[in-house]
Amino acid sequence: MKPPLRKTAEAPGSHFHAGNSARSPLGQYHLERIGNTPLLRFSRLARHLPVVEIMGKAEWLNPGGSVKDRAAANIVRHAQATGKLTPGKILLDATSGNTGIAYAMIAAAQGFPVTLCMPENVSVERKRILHAYGANIEYTPAADGSDGAIRFARELAGQHPGLYYYADQYSNENNWLAHYHGTANEIWQQTEGRVTHFVAMLGTSGTFVGTARRLRELNPHIRSISLQPDSAFHGIEGAKHMPSAIVPRIYDPTLADENLEISTEAAYEMARRLAREEGLLVGVSAAAAVAGCLQVAEQLKKNQPAVIVTILCDSGDKYLSERFWQEE
């Protein structure tokens, strides 16, 4: 794997500088470290495609370990600024893990309580991280998936409106706006405007919607490809099979030039392959995204140059208890 491509410019206030540490409260320090993640180029993976570059944003380098730090921080910041998240209120949301970890990290640093609704079958590592941060967790049946967690969070919010601030990441505009103002501009700067394709998995859809929307403004010829699991019953944590799921209110299907389906088996295989061929340990949804990139690359016309960029949502550290690592 070639050295990471660094940013050519920084978004104002989005990067932490050591000289600010004496003046920044700890909670603000966390927020300032979010974003400006490096862009990694996969050289061995695409060696059979000499005019195609496949790159991924290393989002595990955010302080909470995933791309969800971006949305969670923007949601919290806006809720506090508008008086929705006030002292004494509990932040409530449904999560498959990573957004919950981001909320819990920020909440611990800033001193407000958080309650998270999540499926009971999320990885044991995610559960342990959330417990370490002191989050209150309400587990929902595994068979109900992320939709079950959403329904339970809505029920809690409806029963106790004065107790909770229901962040509702699936409907919150500040989710996709975090990527519109941050992720997309970073990709544009890091590729020096050469990006030709943007590929991302769909979960809340915030990453895809915000990034694709902004990249389209920067260059209407950039193709945006959304990815989702190939069935309602899948093992790609955090991803949504839209035809069978509660569709997030922020989702805009018109932004996708193409939508591809990825199997759980393909995601697992790519996770193992990236670890063994690129020396890169990534999570299941990140591996699925790379599998999608390779599929897009192999569909291109012969000798058609392309710069394909995706989002590596998190590292493989949160999935090491999963059995697929030992499978062949």
DSSP-based three-state secondary structure for 85: coil
Distances (CA, A) of 229 to 86, 96, 158, 200, 259: 38, 15, 31, 12, 11
Q: Is 24 a catalytic residue?
A: no
Q: Encode 60-98: b = buried (16+ Cβ within 10 Å), e = exposed.
A: bbbbbbbbbbbbbbbbbebbeeeeebeeebbbbbbbbbb
Q: How far apart are CA 36 and CA 288, in angstroms?
A: 22
Check if the beta carbon of residue 107 is closer than 8 Å to that of residue 91.
yes
Q: Give me the catalytic one of 7, 14, 57, 68.
A: 68
Report the relative pairing of strands 39-41 and 52-58 from DSSP bridges: antiparallel
Enumerate residues 6+ apart whose C-beta is below 8 A from 40: 1, 4, 5, 55, 56, 57, 58, 280, 312
The secondary structure of residue 168, as a DSSP letter, is -
Count of positions (residues) in the chain: 328
Task: Judge whether 285 counts as a catalytic residue.
Answer: yes
Report in angstroms the alpha-carbon separations of 275 from 2, 38, 322.
15, 18, 15
Angle at 258 between CA 3 and CA 177, to 5 degrees: 65
Catalytic residue among 96, 205, 285, 315: 285
Q: Which residues are catalytic?
A: 68, 285
